[in-house]
Amino acid sequence: MTRPRAEGFLRLLAAGLLLLGAFGPSRAQTAWTLPSPSGQVTMTVRLEDGTLRYSVSREGALVLQESELGIERADAQFATGLMLVSASEPILVDEEYVAPHGKASHLRNHAAEQTLELRNPDGDRILLVFRAYDDGAAFRYSFPDSSVLFHTVTDERTTYRFAGNGRAVLQSFWPESLHEIVPLEDPPGGAGGWALPALFDLGHSWVLLAESDVEKSYFAAHLDEGDEVREYRIKVPETGYGVREPTWKLPWEMPWRAIVVGPDPATVVRSNLVSHLADSSRVSDTAWIRPGRVSWHWWARQPVGSMQVLRSYVDFAQSMGWEYSLVDADWDDYHSDEEMQGLVDYAAARGVGIFLWYNCAGPQNDYTFSPRDRMWDTQIRRAEMAKLSDWGVTGIKVDFFDSEKQTMIQRYQGILEDAAEEELLVCFHGSTPPRGWYRTWPHMMTTEAVRGAEYYLIDHQFPEAAPLHNVRLAFTRNVVGPMDYTPVTFSDEVYQHLTTNAHELALSVVFESGLVHLADDPDSYRAQPEVVQDFLREVPASWDEIRFLEGDPSTHVVLARRKGEDWYLAGINGTTSSREVVLDLAGFDYAGVGAFYIGDGETPRTFAWDHVWGTDFALTLAPRGGFVLRIPGDVTGAPGPPIEETSTEDEERLRLSIDGILPNPFTTTARIACSLSGGAPARLVVYDVAGRRIRSLPAAARPGTTHRFLWDGTDDAGLPVAAGVYFVRLTAGGRSVTKRVQRVR
């Protein structure tokens, strides 16, 4: 009888201590340590003398030493005098979701989470929710009370105090500025601060600071220098349109502060932490959200006033198998609604969707480019979007936001909400980097927030900076979401490229964007070797997986991306010296046959290309050069190394050729005649331009005869496919040959 009484006493004692902690000035527990699911990363929160602080460790090594937490409102402060109300038990967050576009398609949000409830001396409550991921940590504040009155946040006291010296890759707070590599402990001073994301190399760990789930109630933050050595703090935007301090009713939830942590840059580059922290998709049916490649007339300075030019870009997109064409600024000054409706219809008949450009307008910009009066006011915007939907327009590009204050965040969110109602895809320009919005609103395909290829037209210093700038973007800006750099420009419209043509081609893989605006003039693309044109027909705009192979923000980067069963490898050199790269292809489900390489030629404007036969492939990146390498997933019929002419009697040399591809403009059937010699089963497979298998057509082996395949324009399920460019691959006896076929509606 003694033991149960003792246990009951202990339970009563524990309950009393909890009550004392809830209503008294302190409680027994003052620190909470939260390890990630595998224990790689640990976040610790400590309450001492009424102040909250946190630290982050990776495998026992301190990454962020104790750093400040807190929020100040105009009516109350939550930085000092805090008392604990309750601490939840840690819970496991574990969800899987699918992304229509991005660096990976199937994602797992897996973390440990804990919540502290605290009150200030006046009894006002605040929650701190914090998480530990295997590749980082995160936390957010919220005010759980209810109020019909508006409250104003005057300052956020969040700091990041690094536990050691190292390098920082920082960008001044304007999202289109260049990155600098500076001492972490002594960054250059500046009143403007630095943009998020920001990258830090501590030697034993790499850290990327970012934010996610920025809603209408808050601002998009950047960084400022803290009061301590190696300390950075959240900075409320002071420039740009709108009131500095955000205002909202209670309850009120703030954005996630995201801290990506890993032993090397690979962890940073492949991290999806910003996506995981964002609110789940608010678009229930995403079947209409389709990433793609876009032809674009503006960079090549082709006039928007010529309907013939606009149609020629549609025709070029069709010939390349690209999904979209963008009509840029001032289109409404030159063309009537009837003419624009006609362009949309013309494009639709060719399997191409049309994007239209808009000026965000409003008092934050005085640019006269039009249309500038249709995206600011809610009612006008909704009417315009309804009209575009009736026309059959695919999406909109909205430009010139020029502010990160709460008012402008509300503008972004309003555009995304209304566009979802009309099933319009969205591209933001003159904008802030994505803050997790591409998960919540997956029809937000890309944002600019980058010094991209348009600077070849307006900045004489950009060509010199571009090679290393391109490298650094892979470690920073592009980590947190799709980036509309407008890549792959071979021609020199105003200022001459110093990057090689192979470097430019590689940007189509190194950079990720749900819309890839391939910006050069069609004649420039047509002037490239056929293998380069074929690559641009095939390269996807969304990916299933990413791998970091090697690199550093100060020199070069080599990445691998997977789409379906196909792998695309690409690398760029940011330095003026050549660089040797050795690729181990054995880890890409690679059978040692069928890979195809395109790299630097004898001059910066030429290419070299070849098939790759082994699993170890060594290449040389030219100064400011680059390469791409495609490994098809279906390698069973890929061409092997050349066969010696001296075959034995029981070895039979197999010859393949596709003699004719005969698209008939009056039917939906493509007639494909194939010649075989040698005895082997034959198969013809149809792929779309993204590398997805559409149709498989077998045929019996009939040595020395001609096989005829008839593709009726349907997929394996018998459903018709859209008009456009497809690829047919004939395979037999370990060999293959591939050609393009045009399907005409």
Q: Which residues pair with 408 in a beta bridge?
A: none
Decide if 107 contacts 97 (C-beta within 8 A): yes
Q: Which residues pair with 676 in a beta bridge?
A: 656
Cβ neighbours around 664 below 10 Å, total: 10
Q: Could you tell me if 476 and 569 lie in one domain? A: yes
Q: Could you tell me if 310 and 169 lie in one domain? A: no
Active-site residue among 155, 156, 454, 688?
454
* 50-68 mean pLDDT: 97
Interatomic CA distance for residues 387 and 381, integer angstroms: 10
**What are the DSSP calls for 62-118, one per residue?**
EEEEEEE--EEESS-EESSS-EEEEEPPPEEEEEEEE-SSSS-SEEEEEEEEEEEEE
pLDDT tens by residue, 652-683: 344 555 655 544 444 445 556 565 555 455 67
Q: Could you tell me if 579 and 690 lie in one domain? A: no
pLDDT > 90: percent of the chain: 75
Interatomic CA distance for residues 380 and 402, integer angstroms: 21
Report yes or no on 4 lying in a domain: no
**CATH number for the domain harbouring residue 168:** 2.70.98.10
pLDDT tens by residue, 529-539: 999 999 999 99
Burial 684-722 (b: 16+ CB within 10 A, else e): bbbbbbbbebbbebebeeeeeeebebebebeeeeeeebe
End position of a domain, from candidates 604, 635, 666: 635
pLDDT beyond 80 at 16: no
Question: Which two tokens mark 254?
Answer: 């703030």
In this prediction the pTM is: 0.84
Helix, strand, or coil (residue 220) = coil
**CATH number for the domain harbouring residue 401:** 3.20.20.70
Q: Parallel, antiparallel, or unpaired: how do β-strands 395-399 and 353-359 relate?
A: parallel
pLDDT value at residue 472: 98
* 442-456 mean pLDDT: 97
End position of a domain, from candidates 635, 668, 689: 635
133-142, 186-195, 468-477: the lowest-pLDDT one = 186-195
Report yes or no on 15 lying in a domain: no
Q: Could you tell me if 48 and 192 lie in one domain? A: yes
End-to-end CA distance of the chain: 87
Question: Which two tokens mark 643?
Answer: 């066969």
Active-site residue among 253, 399, 448, 534?
399
pLDDT tens by residue, 569-595: 999 999 999 999 999 998 887 655 568
pLDDT tens by residue, 282-314: 999 999 999 999 999 999 999 999 999 999 999
Helix, strand, or coil (residue 294) = strand
Q: Parallel, antiparallel, or unpaired: how do β-strands 247-253 and 353-359 relate?
A: unpaired
pLDDT value at residue 258: 98
Report yes or no on 649 lying in a domain: no
3-17, 589-603, 608-622, 698-712: the lowest-pLDDT one = 3-17
Interatomic CA distance for residues 515 and 551, integer angstroms: 26
Interatomic CA distance for residues 245 and 154, integer angstroms: 5
Please say if 399 is a catalytic residue. yes
pLDDT beyond 80 at 339: yes
pLDDT value at residue 5: 37
Q: Could you tell me if 625 and 662 lie in one domain? A: no
Q: How confident is the model at residue 15 (pLDDT cuts 50, 70, 90)?
A: very low
pLDDT beyond 50 at 408: yes
Decide if 630 contacts 565 (C-beta within 8 A): no
Which of 573, 570, 577, 628 has the alpha carbon at shortest distance from 599? 628
Report yes or no on 664 lying in a domain: yes
Interatomic CA distance for residues 386 and 134, integer angstroms: 44
Length of the chain: 745
Q: Could you tell me if 269 and 288 lie in one domain? A: no
pLDDT tens by residue, 617-636: 999 999 999 999 999 875 43
Question: Which two tokens mark 165?
Answer: 């010296």
Structural domain including 659 reads 655-743
Top-ranked range on mean pLDDT: pick from 378-392, 648-662, 724-738: 378-392
Interatomic CA distance for residues 377 and 393, integer angstroms: 20
Report yes or no on 11 lying in a domain: no
pLDDT value at residue 174: 87
The domain tally of the chain equals: 4
| Amino acid identity, position 546 | I
pLDDT value at residue 686: 82
pLDDT tens by residue, 169-181: 999 988 899 999 9
Q: Could you tell me if 530 and 497 lie in one domain? A: yes
Q: Could you tell me if 219 and 87 lie in one domain? A: yes
Q: Could you tell me if 52 and 174 lie in one domain? A: yes
Interatomic CA distance for residues 10 and 16, integer angstroms: 10
Q: Could you tell me if 541 and 485 lie in one domain? A: yes
End position of a domain, from candidates 410, 425, 449: 449
Average pLDDT, the chain: 88
Question: Which two tokens mark 379?
Answer: 């009612």
| Amino acid identity, position 324 | Y
CA dihedral 634, 637, 639, 640 (to 10 degrees): 100
Interatomic CA distance for residues 158 and 430, integer angstroms: 27
Report yes or no on 3 lying in a domain: no
Name the CA radius of gyration of the chain, rounded.
Answer: 28
Decide if 213 contacts 279 (C-beta within 8 A): yes
Decide if 637 contacts 734 (C-beta within 8 A): yes
Residue at token pair 């010859």: 655
Q: Could you tell me if 132 and 255 lie in one domain? A: yes
pLDDT value at residue 594: 66
Question: Which two tokens mark 34?
Answer: 């939260």
Burial class of residue 427 in the structure, from the number of CB atoms within 10 Å of its CB (0-12 exposed, 13-18 middle, 19+ buried): buried
Interatomic CA distance for residues 432 and 453, integer angstroms: 17
Question: Which two tokens mark 499?
Answer: 């990057």
Report yes or no on 440 lying in a domain: yes
Helix axes 462-475, 501-510, angle to 10 degrees: 30
pLDDT tens by residue, 549-568: 999 999 999 999 999 989 99
Report yes or no on 642 lying in a domain: no
Q: Could you tell me if 178 and 229 lie in one domain? A: yes
Name the strand (E) or helix (H) holding 20. Answer: helix 2-23
pLDDT value at residue 14: 38
Q: How confident is the model at residue 377 (pLDDT cuts 50, 70, 90)?
A: very high
Question: Which two tokens mark 340?
Answer: 């624009």
Please say if 610 is a catalytic residue. no
